[in-house]
Structure 1
Amino acid sequence: MNSESYSMGDRRIRRTKNLLKMHFIQLVKSKGYKNVTVTDIVEKADYNRSTFYLHFKDKEDLAEELLAEVLGELKLAFHKPFLETKVVDYNHILPSSNAFFKHFYDNRDFYSLLTLEDSIPRMNDKFFLKFKEVFEGIVYLDAANESIELEHYNTYKMYGSYGVILEWIHGGCKQTPEQIADNLLEIFKTNNSSFHFKKKS
């Protein structure tokens, strides 16, 4: 078998697995993870059970591969725009070049599962750990105030970003990736030295 035949076979396998994953996501959204069966998945994807078991051991195996795949891409997406950059300046980041937020938007059906009560087991925990892993590799050069613990400063930035993205996901990703990226960049560039409380209406 030549390399072209192998390539076609690989593409066919990827296409089949991606279709099974896509329909699995839709089923979890509509009926909850616990209620989804292998039969549901193959009927929705218009495959037979033998095709499913050719690629996955069971529903849990599919879910684990899906999580590992998309969350693995999350870290790559964060670093992609800065591979050739030693120091990242907020003022020189273009929102349109931010692959991190585009990753969330392109995979919004997957990330919408974070909003469900009956979702993939430990999905929220794994998402948070991967998100934390991404931010643990950052050293903020503007944290010059010696009275601030660097660890606390990094945690503050990480949780703030995490909250903004979760809110965006819960809202159905109605804003574009560029709008979210631009808003978060402006927040990161803002230093407030005072505040006041809103007046009660």
Structure 2
Amino acid sequence: MTKKEDRRVERTKETMRQTFKKLVKEKGYSQVKVKDIVEEANYNRTTFYVHYDGKEELAKDLIHLEMIDFEYEFCKPTRDNPLLDLTLMRPDGTDVFQYIVDNRDYYDLIVMEDRIPNIRELLLGKLQYIFQERMSFVSDKYLEINDDYFIQYRSYGICGFILEWIRNDYDASPSEMARRIINLLHIQSSLMMQLKGEV
């Protein structure tokens, strides 16, 4: 009985998240009200407030779940090869850019002017976390390859790289984007290793 109720709750929340994304893209975050969400999703306000305190909590839930999936996709290459040689990695060895295209209803929101608060900053924060906690580089040439300033350089660079791609309406194929990012990452070191798996 509980499992059925849990599935029903998750379906309701997923409908609200999808509706919220659609409305933010159409109207901008500041213009979306709880009233709009429940009317579009065909729920009542009581149902909404059972699950969320307001649209701010719904936004946090949406971003949190998306960043879990983004991390999963971004870390796939080192999960399959705990010591990864980027010079041998093929563009089809990473699915993260295809994942972004497949979920553009979320990623388009990141470059909006009237966007969800912190949506862009949390993508950057997720990249910083990945390079601090999930992935590490191996280099004889740069002993400080995993120091904070290298982590910030990679994180800001990749975040900007993704944002420009989205702003330009995904003008390069996911495979081409993967090829470019592989080239960018192995400038200082060709070896990347997994620090830890999913927690």
TM-score normalised to structure 2 length: 0.79
The percentage of counterpart residues that share the same residue type is 34
AA partner of residue 45 (structure 2): R
Structure 2 CA distance for partners of 1:159 and 1:57, relative to 1, 3 Å: closer
Greater Rg by CA:
1
The verdict on how the C-alpha distance between 1:84 and 1:98 changes in structure 2, with shifts beyond 3 A counting, is closer
- Partner amino acid, structure 1, of 2:26: S
Report deviation, 1:17: 1.3
Alpha-carbon separation, structure 2, partners of 1:147 and 1:96: 30
Q: Give runs of aligned pairs for residues 41-80 of structure 1, distance below 5 A.
A: 41-80=37-76
**1 or 2, which has the higher strand percentage?**
2
Q: Which residue is equivalent to 2:155? A: 158
Shift of 1:84: 4.3
Q: Among 95, 99, 102, which residue is 1:103 paired with?
A: 99
Number of aligned residue pairs: give it.
187
- Inter-partner Cα distance in structure 2 for 1:120 and 1:10: 27
Bigger mean CA deviation after superposition, 58-67 or 126-135: 126-135
Partners of 1:55 and 1:8 lie apart in 2 by 16
Answer yes or no: is the 8 Å Cα contact 2:128–2:151 preserved in 1.
Answer: no
When normalised by structure 1's length, the TM-score is 0.79
Measured in 1, the distance between the counterparts of 2:122 and 2:156 equals 15
- Relative to 1, partners in 2 of residues 1:147 and 1:53: Cα closer, same or farther, differing over 3 Å? closer
Whether contact under 8 Å (1:114, 1:124) holds in the other structure is yes
Shift of 1:21: 0.8
- Counterpart amino acid of residue 158 in structure 2: S
Unaligned runs of 5+ in 2: 189-199
How far did 1:117 drift?
A: 2.1
Ranked by relative contact order (alpha carbons within 8 Å, sequence separation 6 or more), the top structure is: 2
3-state SS of paired residue (1:140): strand
Superposition deviation, residue 149 in structure 1: 9.0
Q: Is the 2:124–2:155 Cα contact (8 Å) retained in structure 1?
A: no
Within 2, Cα distance between the matches of 1:105 and 1:155?
A: 25
Cα distance, 1:51–1:141 mapped onto 2, change above 3 Å: same
2:165 counterpart letter in structure 1: W
1:145–1:67 CA distance, 2 compared to 1 (3 A): closer
Cα distance, 1:92–1:10 mapped onto 2, change above 3 Å:
farther
State the match for 1:81 in structure 2.
Answer: 77
- Output the CA distance in 1 between the equivalents of 2:25 and 2:160: 22
Equivalent residues of 2:35, 2:45 under 8 A apart: yes
The alignment's C-alpha RMSD in Å is 2.6
